Chain A
Amino acid sequence: MNQLFIPKRIRVEVDKIVHVRRQLLSGGCDINFKLGQNLSPSDVLCQGQKTSGFWMVHLASELSVRVQDAPKFLKRKIGQTIFQGEILAEKVSRFGLGKKLIFAPVDGIIESYDCSAGMLKIKMSALAQKVLSGVYGIVDAIDNSSNSVVIRTQATIIHGVLGCGKQKCGMLKVLKNESNLVGSSQITSDLRGKVVVGGAIAISEALKAAESVGVAGLIIGGIDIWDFKAVSESLGLTSLLVTEGLGSISIGRDIFAPLSEFDGKFVILGGSERTLVLPGQQPASNLPINPNGAGSMAEIKTGLKVRIIADPFYGVQGLIEAVDAVESLLPSGLRSTLVTIATERRKIRQPYQNIEAV
């Protein structure tokens, strides 16, 4: 029998030495690091202030009054400062039977009132912001062109099949198990800013909810193709990593296990790079750089861990138990060498083209 080769997909790389890029604040900030410096996760890379724009309140409609009457109910004058939760406007009903209160949604200055639209504009206060290192590592470069710093660190890398969106950082939150179906009710406001491990698939409503809540990233086994196209074309706030393929497919055990271990820890999701970086938790004073020399093909032999990439067992993983010595004629009319794969539940025979080494 000839040697047979199948594609090798790197799904998890444990304890790799990698460079991670941390974006610094735009518009000027105080830099607190220098080239070659050893960093720990809590080290502040830079701090500064960020102006957050404006907040619009539809005052007339909230008070249920005519647009020209709404300013009469304001408790603060135009130009005054107001803090979140303070009473912004108050309307007492006729005969004092009830009153309607509007509270300030944000800290800021009441800038103007638009008499034609009934909208009140609040200029939001500048927020103090700081960027933490998030990882143990060494500052290897400062990239002024992209206003970022490159840190050498040790990490476990998860490679997905599909992905989209910018690099996002945040705490990892595992919702349930690897085969969970993510509905919108599971995307709650406490997930804001987090990288969420969903499960086998996220339905369209859940993806929209993730955007509106401000989830930094979502990791799922599968996604419907039209949802993936919509998310990748929208350039939304939530980055996405799909680990298995299209449709509802549980996240592979090889990926879900390290994700579970990192629940509650800082991670870096590169949507468009289709990678998730799980930074090492041990200080590293002098890390070498390893070139990423992983091969792209693997020889088929018994004991090799593989993943099926064709229906009806798409995504199922197992070990090769036997390789046929001769080719078989398939019902489709194609000829192929069949391999027997021992999975957790059963033994499956597949053409060798329909598997990949993992």
Chain B
Amino acid sequence: MLHVRGFAAYFPKIGQIEAEKVALRIGFKGNPRLLKNKIANRILYSHAIAQTQEELKIDLAILFEAVKLSGDLYYKKSIGKIFIPEGLANNFPDIKAVSAIFIEALKPKVGTEVALSK
């Protein structure tokens, strides 16, 4: 059965993201009300892709906040590994940038490995 999985599907607590934190991260200067709705629509249709660098910047900021909220799903401290879902590549062209987001959000111990997971 075909189905589409957006990046929001990997983060069950993504609905709890605070728009103010996203705004701060991207240095957003516009109407915060518009940004809040934009973030909510991105979560609602997270399989849609960013067309511009500005949109990608917002998606990465949402990803950062989402990883912070649901980090325990992907950071296995006991084995010292961070697993990054492979499907995120559909939304983010640079998997290194995604890895950097996970590391910054999860603040792992030195020596933690980062791996892609199905």
Contact = CB atoms under 8 A, between A and B. Distances in A.
A binds B: yes
Interface of A: 5-7, 161-162, 222, 224-226, 245-247, 296-297, 309-311, 314, 330-336, 351, 353-354, 356
19 contacts: A5-B2, A226-B36, A245-B40, A246-B36, A246-B40, A246-B44, A309-B41, A310-B48, A331-B51, A331-B53, A332-B49, A332-B56, A332-B93, A333-B56, A351-B48, A351-B51, A354-B48, A354-B49, A356-B45
Given A6-B4, A225-B36, A333-B93, 13 more contacts: A5-B4, A225-B37, A246-B36, A314-B41, A332-B53, A332-B55, A334-B49, A334-B56, A334-B91, A334-B92, A334-B93, A353-B47, A353-B90
A133 to B, nearest CB: 36
A183 B53 CA distance: 36
Contacts of A356: 45
Contacts of B41: 245-247, 309, 311, 314
B45 A330 contact: no
Interface string B67-89: 00000000000000000000000
Contacts of A310: 45, 48-49, 51
A333 B52 contact: no
Nearest to B59: A332
Contacts of B50: 330, 332, 334
A335 B49 CA distance: 10
Main secondary structure of the interface of A (DSSP, over half): mixed
A333 B3 CA distance: 24
A336 to B, nearest CB: 6
Given A5-B2, A310-B45, A351-B51, A247 B93 contact: no
A168 B59 CA distance: 37
A333 B55 contact: no
A245 B3 contact: no
A309 B2 CA distance: 19
9 closest residue pairs by CB, A with B: A333-B93, A247-B37, A225-B40, A246-B40, A246-B37, A310-B48, A309-B45, A332-B50, A332-B56
Interface string B11-51: 00000000100000000000001101111110011011111
A342 B19 CA distance: 34
Nearest to B57: A332
A356 to B, nearest CB: 8
B48 A353 contact: yes
Contacts of A7: 4, 47
A2 to B, nearest CB: 12
Nearest to A333: B93
Interface in B88-111: 90-94
B44 A161 contact: yes
A226 B35 CA distance: 12
Contacts of B53: 331-333
Contacts of A246: 36-38, 40-41, 44
Contact of A330 (B3, B34, B44, B49): B49
Contacts of A332: 49-53, 55-56, 93
Nearest to B4: A7
A330 B3 CA distance: 23
A282 B47 CA distance: 41
A309 B33 CA distance: 19
A194 to B, nearest CB: 27
Contacts of A245: 40-41, 44-45
A222 to B, nearest CB: 8
A247 B36 CA distance: 9
A171 B56 CA distance: 45
